[in-house]
């Protein structure tokens, strides 16, 4: 699989996490992952080894304060525009 064929989700998680100052472990724990595997699981998500489901993306969206659409934007410019939109985010 070429780099352009990869899902943008992992890269977007990493970008938003770093911009928010979270470590992989801290973000994973805050999102409800067991602390013993939080860092490893977040690493797998960021490296596109596994893809989080939509409900987990919604949790990350609230924690990182970016719209859920940000994680799915393929184009960097679009992701940047989406990240500036600040809706009221609900974890339910």
The tens digit of pLDDT for each residue in 41-82 reads 999 999 999 999 999 999 999 999 999 999 999 999 999 999
- The per-residue pLDDT for 41 is 98
Q: How far apart are CA 69 and CA 21, in angstroms?
A: 21
Q: How far apart are CA 57 and CA 2, in angstroms?
A: 24
**Interhelix angle 9-20/54-64, nearest 10 degrees:** 30
The position carrying tokens 């067991």 is 34
Quote the distance between the C-alpha of residue 42 and its chain's center.
9
- The per-residue pLDDT for 88 is 62
**Low-confidence winner among 1-15, 19-33, 50-64 (lowest mean pLDDT):** 1-15
Global pTM? Answer: 0.87
The encoded tokens of residue 9 equal 């989700």
Is the pLDDT assigned to residue 14 strictly greater than 70?
Answer: yes
Q: State the Rg of the chain over Cα.
A: 12
- The per-residue pLDDT for 6 is 81
- CATH numbers and ranges of domains, the chain: 3-84 (1.10.260.40)
């Amino acid at each position: 699989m070429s780099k352009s064929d990869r899902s943008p989700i992992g890269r977007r998680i990493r970008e938003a996490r770093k911009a928010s100052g979270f470590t992989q472990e801290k973000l994973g724990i805050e999102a409800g992952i067991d602390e013993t595997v939080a860092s490893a699981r977040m690493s797998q998500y960021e490296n596109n080894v596994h893809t989080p489901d939509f409900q987990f993306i919604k949790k990350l969206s609230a924690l990182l304060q970016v719209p859920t659409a940000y994680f799915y934007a393929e184009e960097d410019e679009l992701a940047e525009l989406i990240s500036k939109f600040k809706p009221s985010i609900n974890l339910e």
